[in-house]
Structure 1
Amino acid sequence: MQSVVKVAWHSSSDGWKADLLLAEPGGFERWTLSPGRSFNFELSDERRCTGYAPSSGERTPCPEFRKISSGSQCSECRGKDIYSDYVRGDEQTDLDGDFSVYLAQISDNVKVGVTRSENIPKRWIEQGADYAVEILSGLQARVALENESNLSSKGLAERIRKEDKLPSAEDSRPLEKAMGQHDLDGDMVDVNELTVYEEAKGEISRKGLFQGELKSVKGQIIGNGRMALALTSGKVVKNPEQRGLNSF
């Protein structure tokens, strides 16, 4: 039994590629999400703690691989995670480094976000963006968050549900419209062209059997050409209990 930590993206000479990081008792496992690789597993509604980040770039497994009712961490691991305050928007949070504010179009939806300037375009790819633009860069964390909040108060979303991330956008008109409405400038990027995967297809599911060759990875969603499975952090991956069409 294992639980989803995240789809982790990395740059390569021929484009951005993804791995699936999984938590298990006592450690972690990584699956390479190569186009054409065959998979046969089931994603369930059961959840297990994914551990915590004691420092930047490190991850420690949950000491008991605890069963949890929601989210991706037990209370003990959440309390040890260096990113917990930032995720909650804690007023005491103060992160060093330069930050950027960006707009991302995912399907026909546009959101505003903040990330470390060095993490663009990785952050766009992690979120499954089709098009994106960096509108401010080199800011302190608090200033970047203030700009994000200001744009959010004017109607731009800060989050987009996984169910709203497909189908992929046909063009960048929603992003262009949002930039015009808010008088924003920047160089627009076609994010899909940065990865090695084909366009994601199918209706998104949050659980069930994933069987066959991997065709697409969009953010935290994988596809086999027939279905798209959202790999929600904390959910348990196990050997199939369902029977796929190949079993008949």
Structure 2
Amino acid sequence: MNSIVKVQWKNSSDGWKAKLLLAGPNGFEKRGLQPGRKVSFEVTNERRCTGFAPSPGERAPCPEFREIDSGSQCSECRGKDIYSDYVRGDTQTDLDGEFSVYLAQIGQEVKVGVTRSEKIPKRWVEQGADYGAEILSGLSSKVALENEQDISSRGITERIRKEQKTNNPSDPRKLQKIMEEHDYDAEIVDVNSLTLYDRLQGEFSRKGLFQGEIHSVKGQIIGNGRLALAMTSGKVLKNPDQKGLNSF
């Protein structure tokens, strides 16, 4: 039994490709999500702690792989995580490095976000963006968050639900409209073209059995052409009771 940490993305000569990072009682493991791989597993409603980040780029396991009621971390690991205050929007937290503010069109919605400047376009790929534009760069973390909050106050959301990400727009028309309305000037990048995967198809679900070949991965959602299954952080992934294909 393992809990889902997240879908991890890495750039290669062929484009961005995905792996699934899992937490377990003995630490972490990764499983490839290459196109065409045959898998069989089930995502359940049970949740287990995914550990914490003790420093940038590092992850430590939960000492007891604790069962949790919601979210992805137990209270002990959340208290140790260096990003806890930052992701909650605490502008008193000032992380080292340069940060960017971006807009991303995901399906038919546009969101504003903040990431380290060197992590664009990785952040867009991780979020399942279809198109992205870096509108501000070279900022401190505090200033970047302040700009994000200001833009959000003008009606641009900071979050898009996973089920809205299964819509595949054919062009960045919505993003272009937002940029024109707010007088933002930046290059629009086709994020879909940066990955190894075909466009996501199938009925969206947050739990259940996933069998067959991996057809697509979009952000934190994987698809076999019939089902688009969310890889929700903290949820337990297990082998199905009756295995129709080779186990994941």
Note whether the superposition's TM-score is higher than 0.5: yes
The aligned residue for residue 37 of structure 2 is: 37
After TM superposition, the score normalised by the length of structure 2 is: 0.96
- 1:118-129 equivalences under 5 Å are 118-129=118-129
1:189-247 CA deviation, whole Å, 9 max, x = no partner? Answer: 000000000010012100000000000000000000001000000000011147879xx
What code does the residue aligned with 1:69 have? D
In 2, the alpha carbon distance for the partners of 1:242 and 1:191 equals 37
In 1, the alpha carbon distance for the partners of 2:107 and 2:56 equals 31
In 2, the alpha carbon distance for the partners of 1:219 and 1:91 equals 27
Give identity over the alignment, percent.
71
The aligned residue for residue 165 of structure 2 is: 165
Task: Answer whether contact 2:92 2:142 (CA < 8 A) is retained.
Answer: no
SS of the residue 1:148 aligns to: helix
SS of the residue 1:201 aligns to: coil
- 1:121-140 equivalences under 5 Å are 121-140=121-140
After superposition, the CA RMSD in angstroms is 1.3
- Following TM superposition, the consecutive aligned residue runs of length 4 or more in structure 1 with deviations greater than 3 angstroms are 241-245
What code does the residue aligned with 2:234 have? G
The aligned residue for residue 103 of structure 1 is: 103
Task: Answer whether contact 1:197 1:215 (CA < 8 A) is retained.
Answer: yes
Aligned length: 245
Task: Answer whether contact 1:51 1:73 (CA < 8 A) is retained.
Answer: yes
Between 1:216-225 and 1:81-90, the stretch displaced more is: 81-90
In 2, the alpha carbon distance for the partners of 1:5 and 1:135 equals 29
Structure 2: gaps of 5 or more residues:
none
In 2, the alpha carbon distance for the partners of 1:33 and 1:129 equals 18
Deviation at 1:57, TM superposition (A): 1.3
Structure 1: gaps of 5 or more residues:
none
In 1, the alpha carbon distance for the partners of 2:241 and 2:207 equals 12
Task: Answer whether contact 2:52 2:60 (CA < 8 A) is retained.
Answer: yes
The aligned residue for residue 235 of structure 2 is: 235
What code does the residue aligned with 1:186 have? A
After TM superposition, the score normalised by the length of structure 1 is: 0.96
In 2, the alpha carbon distance for the partners of 1:12 and 1:109 equals 28
